[in-house]
Each structure stands twice: as C-alpha cells, then as structure tokens.
Chain A
Amino acid sequence: MTSPDEAWSVSRLARAIKRTVEEGAEPVWVRGELVGVKRYPSGHWYFGLRDESAKVDCTLWKFSAARLPAPLEEGQEVFAFGTPNVWEERTALRFNVTRVVSAAGVGAAAQAIERAKQALLADGLLDPARKRPLPPFPLRIAVITSIAGAAVHDIITVAKRRWPGIELLVINSTVQGEGAPAELVAALGRVARLDAIDCCIIGRGGGAREDLAAFNTEAVCRAIAACPVPVISAVGHEVDVTLADLVADVRAATPSQAAEFALPDRREVEARVAALRDALGSRTLAQVAGMQSRLVRTRDRLGNALLEQVRTAERRLLRVEARLPLALERHARAPRERLARVQGRLAPAMRRRVAETHADLGRLAAQLDALSPLAVLGRGYAMARGEEGRLLRRRADFVPGTPFTLTLADGSITARTEAS
C-alpha cells in the first residue's frame, strides 16, 4: 500500500496513462459513422467515430487531411486508419487518424473493378494464351513509373548488376491519384513510338490498397494489352493482384523482381559461353581425330585388298602354268613362253601400283595432320592464307606489299609481307 506521502502528481498519472495507451499501439483500420465533424481554420479536422454501442473522438491533422479525396460529411460511413493516443493536457483519448475512405467508395471501387474485369474478360484480354514470352536477351527496356518513387531506383540497380549492356528508357508517370490512369495510358502509348524496345516494365513501389486504383482501371489494362512489346507488371503489392497484373504478360511482385525477370544474369550467360567454347574445341578435335583414324583404316583396307588381288592373280597364273605344259607342250611352246614373259611383267607392275597407293595415302594422312587446327595452331603455329583462302606454303608465295591472313588457334589477323 502506498501512503499519501507517496502521492503521484497529476502529470505523472497522465504520463502513465499515455504510456499505457500508446506503447506498442499498432495502427488499425476502424469502421464507423462520422459524427460531430468539424474542420478548424488551422486545417485540422475533429470528429467522432461511432457504432451502435461506442464512440471514439478522433483527430485528423492538416497534412493527412490534404490527402482526403473529398471533405468529410456528417453521418458518413467510413473506414478510418489511425493509432490511439492520449492528449496529455486533458488526459483525453483520441484516435489519431491518418486516412479516411468512404465505405460506400470502397464498395463502389470494388464494383468498378469487377465491371472492368468483366469487360476485359469479354474481350479475351485476360486469356492466359495471350501472354507473350519475354525476349531472352533484351537490349532496350522501357520503364514506366514515377521518377520520384523508389521503383525506378530498384530497377536501375538490379539492371546494372545483372546485365550491364542494357539501355533503360524511363517514362515518367504519376502512379496514383486522379491523373494516374491517363498518364499511364499516355506512357504506354509512348512505348509504341520508341524504336527497338524489347519489353516494358510498368509499376510502382509498395502502396496501400487504394493507391493501386490506377492499375485496376480498364483504360490502363487495355493500354497494356495494346502495347506492341511484352509487358511486365510490377505493382509492388504482394497480397493484391490488380487487373493490370492479369493483363500483363508477366507479373512481378516487386520492381526489383521485374528487372530480374526482364534481364538475363550476366554470370549465367558467361558460364554458358565458356561451356560452348570448350565444347567447340573438343568436338572439333574429336572430328579431326576421327577423320584421321578413318583414313588410316581406309588406307589399310585398300592396301590389303590390292595385295589380295595380286596374290589371287599370281595363284591363277601358277595354276594355268602348271596345266599348260601337259596340254600344250608340243603345240604351244611359243604361247607358253609368251605367258611367262607376261607373268614376269605383271607381278612387279601390280606391286608397284600397291606401293604407289600406300605412298599417296601416307601423303594424304600427313596433310590431314597439318590441317588439324587446334593440334597444330594450338602449339603456336600459324597458317598463312592469301587471297581466296589459298594456303601460302613457300617463300615465293609471299609477294612484298601484298596482304595475307594469319590464322591462329583463336582467330585470324591480317598481315602484310614487308620484303621477300
């Protein structure tokens, strides 16, 4: 128990009450009827919010009042957004309101969205089959948003990180308030007048539900559908899906995500290029190696086939020769001698041809070795080519002052003979 000696001052009590009410108080939406509405010359509004069994006094300060779509009216059913606080001087509880929307307006807005949705549906603009794919490697992207907002900064930051070669064309537009739908429609119209745009991001940073109204209008949705390039919506509201999201080709939850959807990741593409470079080298080497082993096999088979023919011919000659003496000894001495002479010439001729064929094939294989681009060029050699790609093999092939091309392992350069 406390004694009167420990009595609190009034101020202390007031502060304690204020602390109890305000500490940890979260802003809330409250639905009620407006009573005792007063607007002071200072610009502040005072009113009560009432339902069947309770009433709370409210304040709406001048800077918040400036955002009212229409003056408050006595008896109006509204949603008010605010935080409870205590006016210390009188220890009076006030609901400090920062936003008021008419309940009828909320109902009307929902109805307007539904009407717009039905109209878009009727024209097939919400058909998922309409959705266009995004270009894989865009060069120029149009960004429609308010240059005063955070969205444009987020998109630029992500774009610079992911795909530094990109060109962003920013089209400034109001994204909330009365003029927003018309400005957004005009901005979308400008996309069609710009050259070589690959896709378009339209959006805003996070906003309250009623701030998304422009993105729920039929006019903006039709302009998105009419845009000649794929459109990414980035309305920045995770919970609510706007009609613009439904009409857009791709919906992103945030402006940053829209930039991620629109642009490839430079590191991924670099990895893909590196993999292709390696594959190109190894496949070409494999081709040349395969060609060489096929040539060797062909050469061996060809040689063996020719040798076999010679052997067969020799065997047939021997058989004929063996039979000839018996049958023709007396009558055909002359033919026999002729045959012997033919045989003597034939076998060496066939052998010579086989040897020549081997030599030809050997030369071919050697040429093929020289052509292997990576095996040879990779060791630091270069191929010199004159006009029409003719290989320059000898000193005499280089005419002073005449340009020629040097092919190295990783490409070509143009060179010129200084003096022979």
Chain B
Amino acid sequence: MSSTPTLGEDLTRLEEIVRRLEDDDLALESALQLFEEGVTRLKAAQARLSVAEARVLQVLEESGDTGALRLEPMDG
C-alpha cells in the first residue's frame, strides 16, 4: 500500500484544519496554507466517495502445495 492518506485521515485532518481556522492568533500566511491543504484533502475525500463499484473476489488456494492464494472475480 502507498502512503496516500486514507479517507479517515483526510477527514480527521480536515476537522483539525477547521478547528485551527477558529484560532484568532493564526497568521494570514498560515490561514491560507491551511485553506489550500483543506481544499486538497476535500477533493481527495470526494474522489474516494465517487468510486462507483464494489469488487467481489473469491479467494482460492493456488493449485499445488505452494500455499499461495489467488483472487478471482465473483458474481454477486
């Protein structure tokens, strides 16, 4: 797996950004940075939600005694 933030991480960070934007002592530069990061994370979250299809795969034992597993599409 890559180090792309998960949806959970994006939402947690977004909530933190919104909280920090309530802080009166925030410098303008920081506020704008937070805003830009927030927009990026919002887009990532929305992209994750727009994935349309669920995938159903059956786990099968590879033939022979290799102990390997193989995944095959399964009709749901």
Question: Which residues on A are within 8 Å of B, measured CB to CB?
Answer: 135-137, 139, 142, 147, 153, 156-157, 159-160, 163-172, 190, 193-196, 266, 269-270, 272-273, 276-277, 279-280, 283-284, 286-288, 290-291, 368, 371, 373, 410-411
Contact = CB atoms under 8 A, between A and B. Distances in A.
Contact of A273 (B11, B39, B56): B11
B57 A287 contact: no
Interface in B1-41: 1, 6-8, 11, 14-15, 17-18, 21-22, 24, 26, 28, 31-32, 34-35, 38-40
A283 B22 contact: yes
B63 interface: no
Nearest to A409: B39
B57 A170 contact: yes
Given A277-B42, A280-B39, A160 B54 contact: yes
Complex A-B, nearest 6 residue pairs according to Cβ-Cβ distance, in ascending order: A165-B51, A283-B21, A156-B76, A287-B31, A280-B38, A284-B35
A150 B46 CA distance: 33
Contact of B54 (A159, A276, A280, A287): A159
Interface of B: 1, 6-8, 11, 14-15, 17-18, 21-22, 24, 26, 28, 31-32, 34-35, 38-40, 42-43, 45-46, 48-49, 51-59, 61, 67, 69, 71, 74, 76
A153 B11 contact: no
A137 B49 contact: no
7 contacts: A165-B51, A166-B55, A167-B54, A167-B55, A280-B21, A371-B32, A373-B35
Given A195-B1, A273-B42, A273-B45, 18 more contacts: A136-B8, A137-B7, A156-B54, A159-B54, A165-B49, A167-B57, A168-B54, A170-B74, A171-B59, A172-B58, A269-B11, A276-B14, A276-B18, A276-B38, A280-B35, A280-B39, A287-B31, A371-B28
B8 A164 contact: no
Contacts of B31: 284, 287-288, 291
A169 B59 CA distance: 6
Contacts of B43: 411
A291 B21 contact: no
B58 A190 contact: no
A194 B57 contact: no
B5 to A, nearest CB: 11
B65 to A, nearest CB: 14
A208 B21 CA distance: 57
A316 B46 CA distance: 68
A280 B17 contact: yes
B54 A288 contact: no
Given A168-B54, A411-B39, A287 B76 contact: no
A273 B26 CA distance: 24
Nearest to A156: B76
Given A284-B21, A288-B31, A276 B15 contact: yes
Contacts of A166: 54-55
Contact of B26 (A153, A272, A276, A287): A287
Contacts of B52: 164
Nearest to A291: B28
A165 B54 contact: yes
B32 A170 contact: no
Nearest to B15: A276
B45 to A, nearest CB: 5
A288 B57 contact: no
Given A167-B54, A280-B35, A373-B35, A142 B49 contact: no
A280 B42 contact: yes
Contacts of B26: 287
B57 A168 contact: yes
A157 B51 contact: no
